[in-house]
Amino acid sequence: MISSDAFDYINVLNKAADASWLRQECISNNIANDDTPEYKRQDVDFEGVLSRELRHIQYDSLDKKVSNLKLSRLDVGTYIDSANYSYRIDKNNVDIDTENVELASNTIRYQGLTDSITQEFSRLKSVMK
């Protein structure tokens, strides 16, 4: 983590990219365990955590909200999704088609996040010239 107000967005984007990477691992595990009896799919909810944290800081501009975020509160882990729901006889709740769509979506999200981080550094570099 870089501790300067100039890097606030980069730090949040970095946390988002880390969460996206973790989500990619979860989706890959879900796909790999498609045939495992009683396996429950796992997921990551970074967007929900970020939304809750931004709502705690009301009536401020987005810049102010981002600078006031506590980055440690943006650490996310995996959770079991729909643990009690399964439409299959083997009680596995992985839908391979949904997982493949989520995998493609998350790949695009991760690429967008890394591009955004690169652009932020490019902006800072151009300002320093």
Tell me the DSSP string of 71-93: GGGG---EEETTTT---STT---
**pTM for the whole thing?**
0.84
- Examine the pLDDT at 113 and tell me if it is beyond 80: yes
Give 52 or 116, the one with higher predicted confidence.
116
Biggest CA pair distance of the chain: 63
Burial class (CB in 10 A: 0-12, 13-18, 19+), 82: exposed
Domain of 89 in residue numbering reads as 5-128
Closest to 23 in 3D by CA, of 118, 116, 105, 112? 105
- pLDDT (mean) for 102-109: 97
Distance from C-alpha of 35 to C-alpha of 83, rounded to nearest angstrom: 16
Contact 106, 47 (CB under 8 A): no
- Examine the pLDDT at 103 and tell me if it is beyond 60: yes
Residue type, 64: K
Instruction: Count structural domains, the chain.
Output: 1
pLDDT tens column, 46-102: 999 988 888 877 777 777 777 777 888 888 999 998 766 777 889 899 999 999 999
